[in-house]
Amino acid sequence: MKRVRTVPTAAVAVAVAVVTALALAACGNSGPTTQHSSSPARGTAAPTTSSAPHNAADVTFAQTMIPHHRQALQMAELARTRATNPKVEELAVKIQAEQQPEIQTMTAWLQAWGAPIPDMSGGMGHGSSGGMGHGSMPGMMTDADMGKMKTASGAAFDRMFLTMMIAHHEGAVQMAETENAQGQNPGAKALAKRVETTQRAEIAEMQALLKTLG
pLDDT in tens, the chain (214 residues): 444 444 444 444 434 444 444 443 444 444 433 333 333 333 333 345 667 899 999 999 999 999 999 999 999 999 998 999 999 999 999 999 999 999 999 999 999 999 999 998 634 344 333 445 555 699 999 999 999 999 999 999 999 999 999 999 999 999 999 999 999 999 999 999 999 999 999 999 999 999 998 6
Identify the CA nearest to 71 among candidates 157, 130, 146, 126.
146
pLDDT at position 51 is 73
pLDDT at position 8 is 44
Residue 139 CB: number of other CB atoms within 10 A? 21
Separation of first and last alpha carbons in the chain: 117
3-state secondary structure (DSSP) of residue 96: helix
Rounded to the nearest 5°, which phi and psi values hold at 29?
A: -90, 0
pLDDT at position 135 is 52
pLDDT at position 45 is 34
Rounded to the nearest 5°, which phi and psi values hold at 130?
A: 120, -165
**Structural domain includes residue 18:** no
Cα–Cα distance, 111 to 15 (Å, whole number): 59
pLDDT at position 52 is 86
pTM, entire model:
0.72
**Structural domain includes residue 172:** yes
| Contact assessment for residue 100 and residue 66, using Cβ atoms and an 8 Å cutoff | no
| Contact assessment for residue 159 and residue 123, using Cβ atoms and an 8 Å cutoff | no
Rounded to the nearest 5°, which phi and psi values hold at 80?
A: -70, -25
User: Number of folded domains in the chain?
Assistant: 1
Residue 85: half-sphere exposure toward Cβ, Cα within 13 Å = 19
**Structural domain includes residue 104:** yes
**Structural domain includes residue 146:** yes
Question: By residue range, what is the domain housing residue 155?
Answer: 56-213
**Structural domain includes residue 190:** yes
**Structural domain includes residue 7:** no
Neighbour-count burial of 117, counting CB atoms closer than 10 A to its CB (0-12 exposed, 13-18 middle, 19+ buried): middle
Cα–Cα distance, 93 to 11 (Å, whole number): 78
Identify the CA nearest to 103 among candidates 66, 72, 58.
66
Helix (H) or strand (E) holding 172: helix 154-182
Contacts of 172 (CB under 8 A, 6+ apart): 65, 68, 69, 72, 139, 195, 199
**Structural domain includes residue 80:** yes
Identify the CA nearest to 81 among candidates 157, 145, 143.
157
Question: CATH number of the domain that 195 lies in?
Answer: 1.20.1260.10
pLDDT at position 123 is 40
pLDDT at position 12 is 40
**Structural domain includes residue 17:** no
Please state the length of the chain.
214
